[in-house]
A and B are shown apart, each in its own frame.
Chain A
């Protein structure tokens, strides 16, 4: 069964360091989403891609966060520099256009 892949599963970093997460969507899914889930809360959308284009990044803290999907397939989310408040689960999801979103296992980030 096709799945969304994410790596790493866990990441521990010190504040002010750079960190990057990778996501490989289900093959054929043109739409890719990055969500952030702080402990005890629901996920919040950071950015949505349609193919290689950003559709919505209104909630992305652009001073330190960046996201790219250069060839319209896999995607990277970067934080530079990381802050203590960035500790969270980072979830990637993909879908066919307008379809159900399938989530990956997530990357659990701890910033010390």
Chain B
């Protein structure tokens, strides 16, 4: 079973509209972290936002917010007032710390977001 599922391969959104990118995850570990990264066509991975499993409030960073629904195991990214520069691939990722310090990220397959003028 996939640990991170992103069900939207691609999305087209009008500029200035809000957009929600879906992410569901699968883990039995009570302690985990959820991340969203943006990857423009140039290839670099840009960190956007983080949510810890024990965080009581949804994370926010500027125009980015994370809609964390723990019981549903979902961590959707919300981008408010989308801009042309938001066009990119977006990846949801999870960190599950394990014994020995291993904490590499598990990524979903990504959503290709295109903002239209």
Contacts and interface: CB of A to CB of B under 8 A. Distances in A.
Contact of A104 (B44, B101, B109): B44
A106 B106 CA distance: 18
Q: How large is the interface on A (under 10, 10 to 19, 20 to 34, 35 or more residues)?
A: 20 to 34
Contacts, number: 58
Contact of A42 (B42, B47, B103, B109): B109
A97 B103 CA distance: 9
B43 interface: yes
Nearest to A100: B47
Interface size range on B against A:
20 to 34
A98 B32 CA distance: 11
Interface of B: 4, 35, 37, 42-47, 50, 91, 93, 97, 100-110
Which A-B residue pairs are the 3 nearest by beta carbons? A42-B107, A45-B104, A56-B102
